[in-house]
Each structure stands twice: as C-alpha cells, then as structure tokens.
Amino acid sequence: MLKMANTKWCDEEILELSQINEYSTFEDQGADTKVPEGYKKIHVHMVYDIKHDGGCHKARLVADGHLTDSPIECVYSSVVSLRAIRLVTFLAKLNALDLWGTDIGNAYLESYAKEKVCITAEEEFREQKGHLLIIH
C-alpha cells in the first residue's frame, strides 16, 4: 500500500500566499531585476505553528524587520492582561451579555507599508521564485 505524505504545511503555505496575493501585497518586477532606487532589500521566511488544539496548522510569511530602520512611531504590540479579561468577563456576566473570541487572520494586510522595501521571492512563491517583489 502506498503511504501518502502529509501536505498540511504545504497547504498552509499555499493558503497564506493566496491571501497575500488577494490583497495585492506585492508588485512583481519580474526576474533578474535590480532593486529600484530608494528601496531596501529585505528577506522573508515562513514561520510554522500548530495551535493548542493540535489540529490547526498555520504558516505565516514574516519579514526580517531588523533589516529596516525602526519607525519613530510606537512599535509596541500590546497583549491583553488577565485583569482586563476578568473585568470584561465580569461586566458581560453582570449585564447578561454574550462574549465572543476570535482571531483576525492576516489583519496586517489591511495597511500599507511606509518603508520602501522589496524582496526576492524564494521557493515558497513557486512560479514567482527569483522575481523581485516590491512590498506595498
């Protein structure tokens, strides 16, 4: 009997890149293209995660942000404190409200990059491998 390979990570890479393409995140400059004047070339890579339930696999394309200048604006990404969760839960219970929790997938694709950066697509980009991509 032929044993089938696990394709969960490959499937997640395809899903991640399809969502990125849906938002027109990159402007494809083609293969063997030089970095445009005023742009900085950075690297990206996939980060893989399995959610706590063990069944949900995630692949995220992330940039090596240490290769760009730090923005003057606030770059702190806060995490909700346990005290805040308890307070909201208490107020919801007190007012007979339902609580909902969710994860906003690819929320970062809703904004434009201020920095002028580009990448050279690697293997995860499949047919675009070797193309210079400008990040919007």
Q: Is residue 113 part of a domain?
A: yes
Q: How many domains does the chain have?
A: 1
pTM of the model: 0.69
Which strand (E) or helix (H) includes residue 34? Answer: none
Q: Percentages helix, strand, coil for the chain, rounded to the nearest 5?
A: 30, 25, 45
pLDDT at 90 over 80: yes
112 located within any domain: yes
- Sequence-distant (≥ 6) Cβ neighbours of residue 19 within 8 angstroms: 105, 106, 109
Q: What residue numbers bound the domain in which 127 lies? A: 8-135
| The two structure tokens encoding residue 64 | 């090596």
Do the domain assignments include residue 2? no
Kindly state whether residue 1 falls inside one of the protein's structural domains: no
What residues contact residue 42 under an 8 Å CB cut-off, 6+ apart? Answer: 63, 64, 65, 67, 68, 117, 118, 119
Checking if the pLDDT of 22 tops 80, the result is yes
pLDDT value at position 93? Answer: 95
> Has residue 58 been placed in a domain?
yes
Q: Using alpha carbons only, give the angle 60, 116, 17 rounded to the nearest 5 degrees.
A: 25
pLDDT number for residue 4: 60
Query: What count of residues does the chain have?
Result: 136
**pLDDT at 11 exceeding the cut of 80:** yes
95 within a domain of the structure (yes/no): yes
pLDDT at 94: 96
Average pLDDT over residues 62-72: 70
How far apart are the C-alpha atoms of 115 and 110, rounded to whole Å? Answer: 15
Res 3: pLDDT: 60
Is pLDDT above 90 for 65?
A: no
